[in-house]
Every structure is written in C-alpha cells, then in structure tokens.
Structure 1
Amino acid sequence: MSTTVYFVRHAEPNYQNHDDAQRELTEKGLQVSIKVTEYLKDKGVHQIYSSPFKRAVDTIKHLSETLNLQIHQKEDFRERKIDNVWIEDFDSFVKQQWQNFAYKLKDGESLGEVQERQVRGLNELLVLHPNETIVVGSHGTALSTLINYYSPNFGLQEFQKIKSIFPFLVKFTFTQQTCLSVTLINILEDPVYEKSLV
C-alpha cells in the first residue's frame, strides 16, 4: 500500500495584484484550472488541501466541487515570503536564493525555511491519511523546494524550466514517510507530459 500526493502549482495569476495572499487568477487561469479537474477527477482522490493563498485555492476549487470534497487550508503550504516590499530585480533574487538556501531579504524567507515547512506539512498529511490519495494546492517556488528535498539535483536550472508553466503537477508516492517516486506532470501538453525524477 502507498500514499499518493498530487501537488498542484496554481494556474496563471494576475501579477497586477501585488497582494501575495489575495492575488487572484486571470480569466485564462480560471479556464485552464478545469484541466486540473479533468486530469485528477478519476484518480481516486480522498482529501484536498491547499495553501491559504487565493490563487492556489481557486485552482483546485472546481475539482473540490466536482468531487464534493472540502478544501482544507494549511499554512505550511503557502508560498515563500519575499519581503514586505515588491522587488523589481526578481530574477537576480531568485538566483541568489537557489545558490544559497539560507539567503533571504530582511522580512522574507529563505528557501531552506520554505522547504522545512513544506516537508513538515507533507509529513503531517502522510500520518493523517496513510494509503490515501491527496491533492494539495501549491505554488511554484514552494513546490520546487519540496521537489529539491526528495530530488537534490532539482535546482535553479530545473526551476527555470517550469516556472512559466501554469499550472503544473507533481506526483509524490510514499510508503509511510519514505518517498518512492517523484513525477513532474505537465497537463497542458497533449498528450500529458510526465517526467520521473526519483
């Protein structure tokens, strides 16, 4: 028996809204989120969790309504906090963070801190829901730190390949808390593209 967890990176957000917690999906993002439902509706999902941020919740809302399952919001799965101000040179900042998992701005989080709470949140789900299938609404950077934890070769270069894909999925399988496999899934391609990392 194994536990399967599908993390869903949110669909396209409205970057004109600088409020990270309340940033909504674009109209395109809302439409594309239906593809998440199409892919996951027959996977035998038992539980749905999400980052509390609006764009993550909204990406899996159609799935939750289709399956008649409640979305449980979990703070550990929120996106990395960059700072209390909007930064313009985002690419340089991202590069520094991936080069040094302890690097952070004054009021922000390091990737190491983000990774720690992602793993903590996931381990709690593995204890609560053994041998079930779980969906988690997530974010690009937060999810990438989780991939890196189980597949350390996943770094900046790999992150840059997926950072513009909205949404994408990552499937983790576990026996108890031992990770058996990590699979990247691009549901926007036809046929669906899957790549095994572990």
Structure 2
Amino acid sequence: MKKIYVIRHCEAQGQPPEAQLTDRGLEQALDLSEFFSNIQIDRIISSPYKRAVESIRPLSKRLNIEVEIDEKLTDRILSTKNLSDWYEKLRTTFDDIEQKFEGGESSKDAMKRIVQVVEDVFSSKNKNTIIVTHGNLMSLLLKHFNNEFGFDNWKNLSNPDVFLLKSENNNVTFERLWK
C-alpha cells in the first residue's frame, strides 16, 4: 500500500509567495517534524512558496531528504482583482468547480494540478511521500476523492494540517491525522 501525507503549511505572515512563517509557524514546523518522527518517509515534495518549504524544512533536515519543488502545488489564485467578497466567491467555487473569476483559476483547473502530482506519486516506486501545499488546493484534492468535502471542510482546516491518502488496488481513501 502506498501512502501520501498531504500537509497544509504552518501559520504564515500572509498570502504572497514570499510570506514567511510566523514565530508560531516556526514552532509548528518543529511540531510537524516531531509528529513524523516514527513514520518512514521516502520523499518530500513541496509548493515553491516560502511558507510551504519552511513548514517542512525541520523534517527534511532531520531525515536528510531533499525537498523537491513542484510548481503544480502553488496556491490557487481565486482572482487577480481584489475581491471584497472573496470569501463568498470562494464558497461558490466549491459548488461550481468550473466557476472562474478575473485572472483566477477554477477549482477544476486547480484540482487537476494537484491530482496530477498525487497520481504521479502513486505510480512512482516510493511507498511513503509527503506533499506540502496550501489549504485551498488540499481541499480540492480531498474533494476529488470525496465530492462531499466542501467549503465548510476547508474552513475547518488548521495550519498546519495533515491528511493521509492511501492507495490500495486503485482505490484512494483519506483520513485526517492532525488534530
């Protein structure tokens, strides 16, 4: 059985790609490293965003595993316009996955990116892989495997958060590990 641990980054100072972790986020990154202390990991893949890479750095160093950067794991852009009602607009994209706002990416397109990464990992030789990404992209991945996963589930994600995806006989299941 192959396992993928999908991690939402730790608490960050903002949304831009260069946003660093907060002091609390740096502590959470150490907690994540400890969380995985008894779990065999073969590979780590991360969003190129600084907050994602910083979230996994302590574990990467401890395991002496290089973090592979994958552009397909970048945060989803809802719109390039500043939307005062972005929260409601985001909610609509969970119900209508083809909904797209100016300069943004539909849920369907974003979902396709992360699903491709996951399918590539499941078809690789590695048994236990970590993928570090962002809350919206993580939610869309989980929605791909269970259409009931929606906006309210996204709202209830934490920073960090960890879900385990298992693939057995071409059947993918997931469970939340981070409490």
Shorter-chain TM range is: over 0.9
Which runs of 5 or more residues in structure 1 are unaligned?
Answer: 187-192, 194-198
Q: Per-residue deviation at 1:23? A: 1.6
Q: Does 1:139 align with 2:134?
A: yes
Superimposed CA distance per residue, residues 122-165 of structure 1 (whole angstroms, 9 cap, x where no aligned partner): 111112234x1001111100000010111111111222222xx1
**Whole-angstrom CA distance in 2 between matches of 1:140 and 1:38:** 21
Distance 1:86 1:185, change over 3 A: farther
- Percent identity between the two aligned chains: 21
Q: TM-score, normalised by structure 2?
A: 0.94
Superimposed CA distance per residue, residues 151-196 of structure 1 (whole angstroms, 9 cap, x where no aligned partner): 111111222222xx110101001136431x201122xxxxxx3xxx
Q: TM-score, normalised by structure 1?
A: 0.85
Which runs of 5 or more residues in structure 2 are unaligned?
Answer: none
Q: Does 1:169 align with 2:165?
A: no
Superimposed CA distance per residue, residues 20-74 of structure 1 (whole angstroms, 9 cap, x where no aligned partner): x212111111111111111112210010111111111110011000100000011
**Whole-angstrom CA distance in 2 between matches of 1:4 and 1:151:** 17
Superimposed CA distance per residue, residues 59-111 of structure 1 (whole angstroms, 9 cap, x where no aligned partner): 00110001000000111111111222443322112112112111121111011
CA contact (8 A) 2:13 2:21 kept: yes
Residue-pair matches, total: 179
**Whole-angstrom CA distance in 1 between matches of 2:45 and 2:85:** 32
**Whole-angstrom CA distance in 2 between matches of 1:41 and 1:72:** 20
**Whole-angstrom CA distance in 2 between matches of 1:160 and 1:37:** 24
Distance 1:138 1:123, change over 3 A: same
Specify the code of the residue in structure 1 equivalent to 2:160.
Answer: P
**Whole-angstrom CA distance in 2 between matches of 1:54 and 1:85:** 23
Specify the code of the residue in structure 1 equivalent to 2:72.
Answer: D
CA contact (8 A) 1:49 1:136 kept: yes
**Whole-angstrom CA distance in 1 between matches of 2:104 and 2:45:** 24
Question: What residue in structure 2 maps to residue 25 of structure 1?
Answer: 21
Question: What residue in structure 1 maps to residue 151 of structure 2?
Answer: 156
Q: Does 1:103 align with 2:99?
A: yes
CA contact (8 A) 2:43 2:65 kept: yes
Q: Does 1:129 align with 2:128?
A: no
